[in-house]
């Protein structure tokens, strides 16, 4: 019996066999087990359900069995920290999802929630196993339900490393972060053939659902990488920023970067001419530990910058307007991008650091008809709802309703600061003067008066809307002091089943 067990185990390790493994390699893709070996710490993987096989007896499937049924599941560690994962095996039935395949995935998701550990899905599947009919569809729904149940409890990361089509796409869409591999991964509800048959449009898989389509155009995916090896290495780096669950403290990484480090360059980084741009990423990296910043969605809605960094060794989430792109204006895409990120940070009690340089919301018929009111309200709702520590730094412009939305004091911001270059007003000086002094021919004197009265941080500071006006060079020191003070923050929202965010 022991010999038979070992034989079955070896069959499971081979998946669909040597020929299919060679075919996988020829496409520039690793196998399911090779991916696990690269992702996890050496020797840490503990596999579940190695011997599982499908139970289907229709369409000749009773004579086709591959031990493991197209997915490898279990747990292991990344940099010594526990994670659960599944890795779909395209060499076995094309990684298609059967009832038993889904059951294996559901088992590790249930246990991840039970013990409090992230779930990482390495997706490489041809979709539902047609021969199993409704059982396959039920399997997808079982996974979707667990995605929802785990949301906000444990971090969920999907890595798309091959095809992911039809109903299968909704599991990654429900997870917190979706990463893709360029040229070998695809995400779409209906493929090119169906689209051509229904709408007569011709499109390639890559243009329809490749990494560029989803990281630049749709915003469905958060990051894209050149190959499997780079993607898995980045997941190892990324997971270090995240707490294991909503019950765990945020991770701490020791640093030699002094907590009281001053940076005089920041005192002159914002141009004196408010119409001139600067790169907010330079501000972020100069303030954070070791000048590091792990950016999320860098190629989508570039007027908004989001990502993870550390201050005093502890993880923080960064949300910032980007003056280099459209002056950092808020629009539909940037609002959606930032809102989902803010809600993730709040779910896991990761402090939110917001850098504000925003001239307002983007005007235009397309924006209005596209629902900028509803989508902008998502970001407002996300900030207002968040009970995690919230610290805001106004670096320059904070105009109109966008000032309110960007984690202002009025949305229960814990600490709100302005640099001396801050301009907190209903609108810019030129626009305001055109309205207030529309009958005055020479508006230069009026513009100077408006700037001295409103386009500076003093009026807001005098009303307590910003807690202090700080020198930019002291920002790092100030933020770390505040984060230490806010560690025991405990704000409970009003009792209710849940709010009704404007989706």
- Known catalytic residues are 166-167, 401-402
- Residue 270 dihedral angles phi and psi, to the nearest 5°: -90, 120
Which phi and psi (to 5°) does residue 54 adopt? -70, 160
Instruction: Check if the beta carbon of residue 280 is closer than 8 Å to that of residue 323.
Output: yes
CA distance 473 to 262: 5
Written in H, E and C, the secondary structure of 164-178 is EEHHHHHHHHHCCEE
Across the chain, how many H-helices and E-strands are there? 19, 17
Cβ proximity of 457 and 424 under 8 Å: yes
Burial class (CB in 10 A: 0-12, 13-18, 19+), 205: middle
SS3 197: helix
- The token duo for 201 is 């449009």
Query: How many angstroms from the chain centroid is the CA of residue 407?
Result: 19
Tokens encoding 449: 């008066």
CA angle at 154 for the pair 148 and 160, rounded to the nearest 5°: 75
What is the DSSP secondary-structure string of 331-372?
-HHHHHHHHHHHHHHHHTT--EEEEEEE--BPPSHHHHHHTH
DSSP 257: S
Distance from CA of residue 166 to its chain's centroid?
22
Dihedral sign (CA 228, 32, 156, 78): negative
Cα–Cα distance, 72 to 374 (Å, whole number)? 42
């Amino acid at each position: 019996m022991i010999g038979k067990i070992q034989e079955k185990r070896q069959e499971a390790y081979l998946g669909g066999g040597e020929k299919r493994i060679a075919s996988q390699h020829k496409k520039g893709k690793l196998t399911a087990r090779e991916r696990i070996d690269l992702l996890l710490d050496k020797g840490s993987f503990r596999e579940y359900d190695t011997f599982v096989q499908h139970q289907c007896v229709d369409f000749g499937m009773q004579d086709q069995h591959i031990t493991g049924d197209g997915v490898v599941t279990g747990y292991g560690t990344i940099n010594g920290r526990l994670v659960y994962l599944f890795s779909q095996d395209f060499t076995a039935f094309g990684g298609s999802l059967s009832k038993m395949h889904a059951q294996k995935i559901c088992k590790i998701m249930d246990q991840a929630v039970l013990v409090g550990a992230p779930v990482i899905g390495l997706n490489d599947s041809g979709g539902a196993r047609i021969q199993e009919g409704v059982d396959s569809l039920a399997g997808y729904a079982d996974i979707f339900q667990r995605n929802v149940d785990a949301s906000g409890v444990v971090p969920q990361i999907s890595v798309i490393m091959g095809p992911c089509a039809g109903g299968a796409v909704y599991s990654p869409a429900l997870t917190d972060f979706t990463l893709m591999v360029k040229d070998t991964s695809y995400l779409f509800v209906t493929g090119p053939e169906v689209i051509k048959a229904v709408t007569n449009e011709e499109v390639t898989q890559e243009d329809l659902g490749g990494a560029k389509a989803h990281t630049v155009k749709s915003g469905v995916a958060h990051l894209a990488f050149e190959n499997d090896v780079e993607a898995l290495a980045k997941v190892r780096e990324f997971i270090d920023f995240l707490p294991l669950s909503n019950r765990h403290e945020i991770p701490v990484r020791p640093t030699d970067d002094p907590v009281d480090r001053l940076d005089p360059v920041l005192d002159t980084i914002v141009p004196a001419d408010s119409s001139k741009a600067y790169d907010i990423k330079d501000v972020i990296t100069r303030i954070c530990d070791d000048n590091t910043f792990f950016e999320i969605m860098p190629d989508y809605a570039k007027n908004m910058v989001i990502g993870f960094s550390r201050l005093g060794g502890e993880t923080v989430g960064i949300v910032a307007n980007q003056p280099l792109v459209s002056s950092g204006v808020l629009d539909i895409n940037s609002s959606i991008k930032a809102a989902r990120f803010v809600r993730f940070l709040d779910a896991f009690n990761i402090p939110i650091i917001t850098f504000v340089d925003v001239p307002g919301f983007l005007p235009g018929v397309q924006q209005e008809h596209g629902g900028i009111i509803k989508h902008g309200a998502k970001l407002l709702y996300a900030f207002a709802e968040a009970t995690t520590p919230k610290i805001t730094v106004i670096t320059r412009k904070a105009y109109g309703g966008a000032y309110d939305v960007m984690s202002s004091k009025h949305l229960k911001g814990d600490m709100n600061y302005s640099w001396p270059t801050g301009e907190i007003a209903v609108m810019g000086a030129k626009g305001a003067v055109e309205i207030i002094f529309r009958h005055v021919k020479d508006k230069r004197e009026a513009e100077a008066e408006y700037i001295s009265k409103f386009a500076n941080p003093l009026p807001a500071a005098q009303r307590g809307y910003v807690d202090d006006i700080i020198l930019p060079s002291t920002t790092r020191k100030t933020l770390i002091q505040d984060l230490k003070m806010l560690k025991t923050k405990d704000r409970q929202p009003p009792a209710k089943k849940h709010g009704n965010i404007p989706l």
